[in-house]
Amino acid sequence: MPQTNDSKWNARNRISGLIVADLHSHTRASDGSLEASHLLEIAQARGVNLFAITDHDTVASVAAGRAAAAARGVGFVAGVEISANWQSLPIHVVGLNIDEFHAPLLDALQGTRDMRLLRAKAMGESLAAAGIEGAFEGASALATNPELVSRTHFARHLVQSGVCGTNGEVFSRYMKPGKPGYVVSEWMALEAAISLIHGAGGSAILAHPARYDTAALGGTDALVSGFKKSGGDAIEVVCAGHSPSDWANYAALSRRYELKASIGSDFHSHAESKVRIGDLPRLSPSLVPVWSDWAITESLFSAHRK
Ligand code: AMP
Ligand code: MN
Ligand code: MN
Ligand code: MN
């Protein structure tokens, strides 16, 4: 009997069940410790078949990631994790399945990186005023991309120079709002980040929503509904910053606000990341995955469509 009674929906759903996705990761182009090719080697070894590189405010590793993914037969979409502000709160918006050559996006990311360099210098001055000399130079020496000296690089430097025992300690003593090394940044507005991602043909995803301190701004519900109203497409439901109870909470918010669901390890390095690439539970089939309308899933799994 030919399988003629399968609806398109069922076919899509079956394709979705075959996808093992990890859609949030960092390379040395931002604050990750590995090269793109190394991430793809790990992704393939762990059975991931849909992967994205989402460096902070740069797409510099996307080409290398795409080439490595093609060589290994791993599905790949270009990504970026944009630093943005929702009201006064710094948040991260992941753009996935973007055209990484879209000029307005590249121009805006360049502007953010220019600002990051000034910010890093100001962080160094702020730490010097608190008695810690040479932190900008130390952090810069650990960064591959001179335009991307992030708080992570400061944290690594302050651990290596013995000021603190762990990156977490650096963040709580020096890198959080109100602490001596913290510098307030004028990131682009959430709406601008979303519209740049849409202009580049991509999907806009609210990264690790449980990680933000939204208490003074109406709580996580206000953030998620604000993200939806601003035109966002999806939220990360299963990700490194989330506990199992967060998975359930954000699955419910994904359904309530009709936002698609994404999944990603947010891998930075073997030493620092709690979650390994591909080492996350699958998204619940009750959620609409962020990749549901991406052409790549059709072509990757076309053999299973009939
Ligand atoms: P930046 O983009 O320069 O503000 O740096 C933010 C990065 O710092 C995040 O992407 C994480 O990789 C890292 N980070 C944030 N909070 C912590 C923390 N509490 N402990 C360790 N790393 C953190
Ligand atoms: Mn990071
Ligand atoms: Mn982030
Ligand atoms: Mn990230």
Residue nearest to atom 8 of ligand 1 (CA): 152
- How does pLDDT run across 207-236, given as a tens digit for each residue? 999 999 999 999 999 999 999 999 999 999
Asked whether residue 203 falls in the same domain as residue 254, the answer is yes
CA distances to 240, 266, 281 from 272, in Å: 11, 11, 20
Asked whether residue 151 falls in the same domain as residue 196, the answer is no
183 assigned to some structural domain = no
Residue nearest to atom 12 of ligand 1 (CA): 152
* Centroid of ligand 2 to alpha carbon of 92 (angstroms): 10
Residue nearest to atom 18 of ligand 1 (CA): 168
89 assigned to some structural domain = yes
Residue nearest to atom 3 of ligand 1 (CA): 150
| Inter-helix orientation angle 244-256/219-229, to 10° | 40
Is 70 exceeded by the pLDDT of residue 7?
A: no
Residues with CB under 6 A from ligand 1: 31, 56, 83, 150-152, 155, 167-168, 171, 268
Given a contact cutoff of 8 angstroms between Cβ atoms, the answer to whether 210 and 249 are in contact is yes
Is 50 exceeded by the pLDDT of residue 4?
A: no
Mean pLDDT taken over the chain: 94
pLDDT on residue 11: 60
* Centroid of ligand 3 to alpha carbon of 282 (angstroms): 20
Round to whole Å and give the CA distance between 235 and 41.
27
Is 90 exceeded by the pLDDT of residue 298?
A: no
- Give the number of C-alpha atoms closer than 13 A to the C-alpha of residue 55, restricted to the C-beta side: 30
Q: Could you tell me which residues come within 8 angstroms of residue 210 by beta carbon, excluding any fewer than 6 positions away?
A: 220, 241, 242, 243, 246, 249, 250
Q: Could you tell me which residues come within 8 angstroms of residue 268 by beta carbon, excluding any fewer than 6 positions away?
A: 26, 31, 32, 33, 152
| Inter-helix orientation angle 62-72/36-45, to 10° | 30
Round to whole Å and give the CA distance between 264 and 240.
7
The preferred substitution site among 94, 145, 151, 185 for testing ligand 1, maximizing ligand atoms within 8 Å of CB, is 151
Asked whether residue 133 falls in the same domain as residue 275, the answer is no
| Confidence label for 107 from pLDDT (cuts 50, 70 and 90) | very high
pLDDT on residue 115: 98
Question: Residue 45 maps to which CATH number?
Answer: 3.20.20.140
Round to whole Å and give the CA distance between 14 and 287.
14
- How does pLDDT run across 59-96, given as a tens digit for each residue? 999 999 999 999 999 999 999 999 999 999 999 999 99
Q: Tell me the ligand closest to 92's alpha carbon.
A: 3
Q: How many residues does the chain have?
A: 306
pLDDT on residue 170: 98
Question: Residue 129 maps to which CATH number?
Answer: 1.10.150.650
pLDDT on residue 299: 74
Containing structural domain, residue 166: 113-173
* Centroid of ligand 3 to alpha carbon of 289 (angstroms): 20
Residue nearest to atom 6 of ligand 1 (CA): 151
Asked whether residue 14 falls in the same domain as residue 157, the answer is no
Asked whether residue 196 falls in the same domain as residue 287, the answer is yes
182 assigned to some structural domain = no
51: nearest Cα among 29, 69, 64: 69
Domain end, chosen from 173, 203, 224, is at: 173
179 assigned to some structural domain = no
74 assigned to some structural domain = yes
Assign 109 to helix, strand or coil: helix
pTM for this model (two decimals): 0.95
Asked whether residue 149 falls in the same domain as residue 258, the answer is no
pLDDT on residue 15: 67
Asked whether residue 63 falls in the same domain as residue 98, the answer is yes
180 assigned to some structural domain = no
Maximal C-alpha separation, the chain: 78
Q: Tell me the ligand closest to 91's alpha carbon.
A: 3
pLDDT on residue 18: 87
- The residue type of 277 is I
Residue nearest to atom 9 of ligand 1 (CA): 152
Domain end, chosen from 173, 198, 214, is at: 173
* Centroid of ligand 3 to alpha carbon of 258 (angstroms): 22
The preferred substitution site among 119, 152, 153, 158 for testing ligand 1, maximizing ligand atoms within 8 Å of CB, is 152
178 assigned to some structural domain = no
The two structure tokens encoding residue 261? 């669901």
107 assigned to some structural domain = no
Percent of the chain with pLDDT over 70: 93
Number of domains observed in the structure of the chain = 2
Asked whether residue 67 falls in the same domain as residue 155, the answer is no
Asked whether residue 22 falls in the same domain as residue 121, the answer is no
Beta bridge partners of 205: 94, 234
| Confidence label for 13 from pLDDT (cuts 50, 70 and 90) | low
Asked whether residue 88 falls in the same domain as residue 118, the answer is no
* Centroid of ligand 4 to alpha carbon of 24 (angstroms): 6
Round to whole Å and give the CA distance between 241 and 42.
20
* Centroid of ligand 2 to alpha carbon of 282 (angstroms): 23
Asked whether residue 203 falls in the same domain as residue 283, the answer is yes
80: nearest Cα among 184, 187, 203, 185: 203
* Centroid of ligand 2 to alpha carbon of 268 (angstroms): 7
Given a contact cutoff of 8 angstroms between Cβ atoms, the answer to whether 51 and 263 are in contact is no
Given a contact cutoff of 8 angstroms between Cβ atoms, the answer to whether 185 and 119 are in contact is yes
Round to whole Å and give the CA distance between 168 and 211.
14
Is 60 exceeded by the pLDDT of residue 124?
A: yes
